[in-house]
Structure 1
Amino acid sequence: MNPATNLSSAITRYVHHDDTLPLPQLRKLGLIYSSYRFVVSLFSMLMLYISARTGDSASLPSFLQQTTLSFYILLSLILLGLFYVVRKHMRRQLAFGLALDVIILSLLLYTTGNPDLQLTMLYMVVVAASFMLLHGSQALVITLLAIILVIYQQFFYAIANSMSLANLGDALLMSASFLAVGGLSWSISQRLVQLEKVAANHAKEVERLNVINQEVITQMVNGVIVIDKQHIVLANLAAHQLLSLSLVTPNTAQNTLDDVKETHNKALLSNFEQQLNKQHTQLFNACLSVASGQSRAFTYDVPAVANASIFGKLRVQIIPLKDDSKLVILEDLRREQASAQQLKLASLGQLTASIAHEIRNPLAAISQASQLLMEDVAEQMEDDSASTSESNTAITGNHELYEMIFSQTKRVNRIIEDILKLSRQQTATQQVLELAEWMPSFLENYFQGHDIFLRIKTKPIISFDTHQLEQILINLINNGLRYSSYAHPHAYVEIDIYCADNDVIIDILDNGNGVSAGNFELLFDPFFTTDTAGTGLGLYLSQAFCEANQARLLYIPEHEKTCFRLIVPSIKSDNKFQTIEENLT
């Protein structure tokens, strides 16, 4: 290919595909160059008068020089002010100023006559600045303008001095220098632009990762606390909830989730540290006492002041970080309990599946035989109505024994059915439930005709297996109705639904005699019951279903009424509380 063609294509690519600095960097460098222009114009005027005073004739500078420099000072000041105030079309302002620099320097070079090293260096600065601040095409125009003016001025000066072309070679050499300086400046500017782009991309990536990290930390179910130099510098939302610490700073109202995401909110972190030191002194001191470079793990019992009936126990892991910082991870042990319960359900399911038919087949035979014997006895009693009283007494006694056998087989069958319910629900199929809408419908379907008082103090949303939640509430409400009927002629049950921290609380209340203190530890054991007609599996199954859904079922002896509390994690927080009261009769 022709070298001229290669040069032409290279110039074309350069003109159309050059990169420029981003606007913030362009503004910064443009202000620096505008200030430099104003200082140079003042300095040039000052040096012009100083040179004239120190000369032999002590004459004033020429009118052209004074006019040019005065005009240059005025325009330099105007351009500096405009560039500082007006943020639009910055490259146009810079292009106009650089073209003005070339024209003024050419006028000064014309008044000097001979090539001047100082003016030549100023030309070099203008050319270099144009390739750094402007597009390639604009910078090339500025450079060509400087070359044309310099060569024309020297050529005109040579004609005026009887065609002496001694300085024309210096002008050509100066023009070549302009092109060399422009090329070098363009190469440096392109490298700077690429570095700026790389730095900007890295900054965006770091910012994106920081946003992702903040969101991940905020949404974590485990509490995360970072301690640096004996002070807390980070605490996520789960840490507040697991430790039951409020999100209220001393001088502000309730903080939102966005405030928690700002982990460097000093007021919020300071308030968190004060509450932690006050309500969880043992935990706070344990975190501070761990030596640098050492890790520690222990189980922490949440004190009653921090609503222990909700969270109970936490696993605490203290992990050392760099610069003597410490990472504290709080984990609610309810999830491990739920996993253990799932394993227990799976084992029980395998056991019951293998023995169900073996038990039910002979049990069905015994039940059928007892029914047949009772029918035979009934027939004998009709046929032997005229027999002696001793014979009738014996037949009646046999009938009672057969009824006892039949009733006990029915009870064993109920126990097997309860166990099979547990084995069939090995995995919870959770669904999103709005309790304010779901609970009234449930009570209408299962407890129509009973006195059930429902109070919903908020509109919580939970995730729970619908069938298992129905079984839990049916067991608890039936127990409440049964045991309250033993103590009072009018049996009724109250249901209170409200929120505590990030949990939804469902209290099942009745006015029965409650559970004796000696039975607290046995309350949720299988086959434990104080009712002769019960199987002792209702509360055990209810607790198993709760744990399979990451919930808890507790008996609250401190309550003034008999209270069984169901604690379910909320999947949506609503700060607008609304009370709903219903009486289903």
Structure 2
Amino acid sequence: MSSEPSLKIGEPPLELPKAEPSPALPWGSSEELAWRVLALVNLFRLLIPVLLMVLYWTLDPRLVGQADARLFFFTTIAYFGFAALSIPTLRRRWPDRMLQTAFNVGVDVLAISLLTYSSGGMNSGLGALLVLPIGAASFVVGQRLALMFAAVAALALLLQQAFTTLAARSDPGDFASAGIVGALMFIVTLGVGPLARSLRESEERVRQREVDVANLAELNQFIVQHLRESILVVDDHDTIRLINESAGSMLGGNAIAAGTPLGEVSPRLLYLLDTWRRHSYDWQLSSLSLLTSDGSSLVQPHFVSLRSNGGGGPTLIFLEDTSLIAQRVQQSKLAALGRLSASIAHEIRNPVGAMSHAAQLLAEAPQLTAQERRLTDIITKNGERVSMIINNVLQLSRRDSTRQERIELNSWLEEFVGEFRQTSQVDASKLYITTSAPELEVRIDPSHLHQLMWNLCENALKYGRKFDSNDAIEIRTGRMATSERPMLEVLDRGPGISPTDAERIFEPFFTAGKGGTGLGLFIARELAQCNRAVLIYEPRAGGGSIFRLVFADPQRWETQ
């Protein structure tokens, strides 16, 4: 079905690719956080000049720019222009964030100090605007560098206040305001530093958890996709939500995308799922099965509701290839059957033989009436039928003596069909061979294949033609579409087999017609399984039956 990864002793274990968090996730790492803080501070630089210009033109008396209007206008415009030019550098994240932070803080200190000086010193309150850029820088750089930024900003405020006092534009008492703002910047820097470290550690833990969760999800996906078991999950609307490679190979022969309706992939599986939902208590559903997409195997589905109450909702479906299990069960059954048949066959055959011989002698008597002759014919025919059953059972007991050979299927089939036509007196036009592959090499016991094909062709002659019909029987060879395994089909245009009987035709002693022993198809499937081949039935389009024998890959056999 699907190829599975193998791990040999001494080889390194499989390595899964390590998942990385998506860069599109917000606050995905400390680096991402730093750039976002820088972007927010730049937004502050864009808004402050606009707000100051609005205050200058709307308030009377003016609270800003009244000491030196020309310097105020020049600084405001330059500050806004610098913020606008910083947008591309932040988006490209070039140059380095440390360099950008240091340069931006220097521009902030210079611009706000000039705005404060042109507005009359600390009395204007603009000096407090430095608290935000200095505090934000503490998120990006280390605490020592942030304290240095705070010291430079405090000295700049004191220096501008000194020039303002010398120009007689403010009261000397405003030095206290400059000192308070400087102390506030130091307090904010000292408080933000531990908070920034804690935030960076939290972000790192979140990022690691992200990686762990992504790796776990990828590991789960890897395990599900490479499970030996075939599984899929369908929702309330019978839509496939999860399917692994093995299940996809069984149902579709290739990958099946999630979101595909189950009915489009396998109507038979949808029918079984619907039946299980309506009759989940019915144990007889365990005998229902479906064919794989290439018709090479029988699959037994098992359904499990994913809801705690067990009713409806999403359903987990296990698809079990029954060929291997059936082979093991049949081997055990065959061993017991062989021991039984070997011990009692002669006890049955001898009395039946004596009875048949006596009936033949009795039929030769000239004084028998027509009624008595009819009775002796019944004895003879039923004695022959019992002998046939005994021979079939003995053949099953010797099934394990398999002598497999490599044979060219088409040439072998030509010889077999010639022999069968001559023995059964069948015209060539009523039993013919078609092939889609000129050379088909298979590995099988020729005697087993001969008996298997003889049973199938006899069944096709007896039951594969409608009443008063001369429909031909076709034997077709080729390869399966997906697995490329060699296959052989016997096709007829008979009445077909009802869906009820189709589940039982391979059971021993089951027969839908008259006169059969019910062992022909059972023996044929047993012989196929002995050679690791698969014999399956499916209805033929337009009426009739198809019995398909799918051989094992001969190349794979040699490596096992």
TM-score (norm 2): 0.58
Q: How big is the shift at 1:353?
A: 10
Change (3 A) 1:506 1:210: same
1:457 and 1:510 map into 2 onto residues whose CA distance is 16
Query: Secondary structure at 1:201's aligned position in 2?
Result: helix
1:361-413 Cα offsets, whole Å, 9 max, x none, are: xxxxxxxxxxxxxxxxxxxxxxxxxxxxxxxxxxxxxxxxxxxxxxxxxx99x
Q: How big is the shift at 1:44?
A: 1.9
Query: Secondary structure at 1:41's aligned position in 2?
Result: helix
1:459 and 1:43 map into 2 onto residues whose CA distance is 88
Q: Identify the match of residue 314 of structure 1 among 301, 305, 308.
A: 301
Aligned counterpart, 2:374:
none
Q: How big is the shift at 1:332?
A: 3.9
Asked if the contact 1:302/1:308 (under 8 Å) is kept, the reply is: no
Aligned counterpart, 1:339:
325
Query: Secondary structure at 1:115's aligned position in 2?
Result: helix
Asked if the contact 2:306/2:314 (under 8 Å) is kept, the reply is: yes
Aligned counterpart, 1:122:
129
Query: Secondary structure at 2:122's aligned position in 1?
Result: coil
Letter of the 1:443 partner, please give it: E
Change (3 A) 1:295 1:541: closer
Q: How big is the shift at 1:107?
A: 2.1
Asked if the contact 1:557/1:563 (under 8 Å) is kept, the reply is: yes
Aligned CA RMSD, in angstroms, stands at 6.0
Q: How big is the shift at 1:497?
A: 1.6
1:191 and 1:118 map into 2 onto residues whose CA distance is 32
Q: Identify the match of residue 149 of structure 1 among 137, 156, 181.
A: 156
Aligned counterpart, 2:43:
35
Aligned counterpart, 1:224:
232
Say whether 1:83 aligns with 2:63. no
Query: Secondary structure at 2:314's aligned position in 1?
Result: strand
TM-score (norm 1): 0.55
Q: Unaligned regions of 5+ residues in structure 1, if any? A: 1-18, 248-255, 360-410, 426-438, 461-465, 571-585
Q: Identify the match of residue 105 of structure 1 among 109, 112, 125.
A: 112
Query: Secondary structure at 1:330's aligned position in 2?
Result: strand
Aligned counterpart, 1:418:
398
Letter of the 2:95 partner, please give it: H
2:82 and 2:550 map into 1 onto residues whose CA distance is 76
Q: How big is the shift at 1:54?
A: 1.5
1:120 and 1:569 map into 2 onto residues whose CA distance is 87
Q: How big is the shift at 1:123?
A: 1.4
Aligned counterpart, 2:54:
46
Equivalent residue runs for 1:382-421 within 5 Å: 418=398, 421=401
Equivalent residue runs for 1:62-461 within 5 Å: 62-84=69-91, 86-89=92-95, 91=97, 92-112=99-119, 114-116=121-123, 118-134=125-141, 139-154=146-161, 171-220=178-227, 221-228=229-236, 230=237, 232=239, 234-236=241-243, 244=251, 257=255, 260=257, 263=258, 268-269=259-260, 272-273=261-262, 275=264, 282-283=271-272, 285-286=274-275, 298-299=285-286, 301=288, 310-311=297-298, 313-320=300-307, 326-332=313-319, 334-335=321-322, 338-339=324-325, 341-343=327-329, 345-346=331-332, 418=398, 421=401, 442-443=407-408
Change (3 A) 1:443 1:47: same
Equivalent residue runs for 1:421-570 within 5 Å: 421=401, 442-443=407-408, 470-471=443-444, 475-477=448-450, 480=453, 495-499=477-481, 506-509=486-489, 539=524, 541-545=526-530, 552-554=534-536, 565-567=548-550
Q: How many residue pairs get matched?
A: 439
Aligned counterpart, 1:397:
none
Aligned counterpart, 1:399:
none
Letter of the 1:148 partner, please give it: L
1:123 and 1:235 map into 2 onto residues whose CA distance is 56
Query: Secondary structure at 2:318's aligned position in 1?
Result: strand
Change (3 A) 1:563 1:296: closer
1:505 and 1:165 map into 2 onto residues whose CA distance is 100
Query: Secondary structure at 1:499's aligned position in 2?
Result: coil
Identity between Structure 1 and Structure 2 (%): 14
Letter of the 1:182 partner, please give it: T
1:312 and 1:43 map into 2 onto residues whose CA distance is 75
Q: Unaligned regions of 5+ residues in structure 2, if any? A: 1-26, 345-390, 418-432, 462-473, 554-560
1:321 and 1:24 map into 2 onto residues whose CA distance is 42
1:522 and 1:43 map into 2 onto residues whose CA distance is 90
1:511 and 1:105 map into 2 onto residues whose CA distance is 94
Q: How big is the shift at 1:101?
A: 0.6
Asked if the contact 1:79/1:93 (under 8 Å) is kept, the reply is: no
